[in-house]
Amino acid sequence: MITILKDETGEIVLYPSYFEKVDMLMELDQFELRQESIVLFGKQVNQPRLSRLYGKAGTTYKYSGKLFEALPWSGNLHAIAQNCSEICGVVFNTGLLNYYRDGNDSMGIHADDEKELGRNPTIASVSFGTTRKMIFRKRDSKEKLIVPLNHGDLLVMKGTLQHHWKHELPKERKIGKDRLNITFRFVRTYL
Ligand SMILES: O=C(O)CCC(=O)C(=O)O
C-alpha cells in the first residue's frame, strides 16, 4: 500500500496490482457499454470513451447533468465491489465502468462532488489493461500529482480530496491498447 497524499486536502492511497489476477477486459462482452452524449456549453457531444453504470438494483446516479440507472451487477464485478467495500469500510452500491479503446479516449477534468455522494466520499477505482496516467490538479494552485495506473491497481480517494483537487485521464495518443476502469461509489438515491 502506498500513500500518495494524506493531508488536510485529502487522501489518495494506491494498492499496486491488488486485482492483477482478475482481467475484466476478458469479460467485456457481458457489459452493455455505450458511448454517452452529454450537453457541453449548450451542444450535444459524445464522450470520448464507452461507459455504463452497474450496481445494486434500483440505484441511480446523476453526473454530467444526466441521470443514469444502474444495471444489476453480478459475478466478478460484484465480487470486486465487495472486496473494495471490505478494504475501504464502505458499502459501495455502484460501479461505473469506463472503457478507453485507446489513447485517444479520455476523461476530462472533474471532481466527484455530486451531492448524492455525501460530503467526503470514499471512491475506489480499479484499472485493467494498459497503463494510463491519472492527473490530480489542486484547485487553488498549480500543484499536480501524476499517478500511472497499471493493470490490477486499486486507487482509493477519500477524506476532503474532492473539495481540494480535481482529476482527469488525459489523452495519450501514442497508446494503441485498451483499458477498463471501474469506480465504486456509495450513491444515495433520493426518492
Ligand atoms: O479512468 C479513470 O481512471 C478515471 C475515472 C474517473 O475519474 C471517474 O470515474 O470519475
pLDDT by position in tens, the chain (length 191): 999 999 999 999 999 999 999 999 999 999 999 999 988 788 889 999 999 999 999 899 887 778 899 999 999 999 999 999 999 999 999 999 999 999 999 999 999 999 899 999 999 999 999 999 999 999 999 999 999 999 999 999 999 999 999 999 999 999 999 999 999 999 997 65
Distance CA 131, CA 64 (A): 25
Q: Indicate whether 29 belongs to any domain.
A: yes
Residue with CA nearest ligand 1 atom 8: 183
Total-model pTM: 0.96
Provide the CA 106 distance to its chain's centre, in angstroms: 12
Task: State the pairing for strand pair 50-55/71-72.
Answer: parallel
Q: Show Cβ contacts of residue 66 under 8 Å, excluding neighbours closer than 6 positions.
A: 36, 38
Distance CA 146, CA 133 (A): 6
Q: Indicate whether 12 belongs to any domain.
A: yes
| Per-residue cell: 21 | 489476477
Measure 58 CA to ligand 1 centroid, in angstroms: 23
Task: State the pairing for strand pair 94-100/50-55.
Answer: antiparallel
Q: What is the DSSP letter of 56?
A: S
Measure 127 CA to ligand 1 centroid, in angstroms: 9
Residue with CA nearest ligand 1 atom 3: 181
Measure 168 CA to ligand 1 centroid, in angstroms: 7
Domain that holds residue 146: 2-185
Q: Indicate whether 191 belongs to any domain.
A: no
The values of phi and psi at residue 131, to 5°, are -75, 130
Domain count, the chain: 1
Q: Indicate whether 72 belongs to any domain.
A: yes
Q: Which residues line ligand 1 (CB under 6 A)?
A: 96, 98, 107, 112, 125, 134, 149, 167, 169, 181, 183
Torsion of CA 76, 94, 136, 67, to 10 degrees: 140
Q: Indicate whether 28 belongs to any domain.
A: yes
Q: Indicate whether 33 belongs to any domain.
A: yes
- The residue behind cell 438515491 is 189
Other beta carbons within 10 Å of 67? 8
Q: Indicate whether 112 belongs to any domain.
A: yes
CATH number at residue 7: 2.60.120.590
Q: Indicate whether 190 belongs to any domain.
A: no
Quote helix, strand, coil % in the chain, to nearest 5.
15, 45, 40
Measure 97 CA to ligand 1 centroid, in angstroms: 9
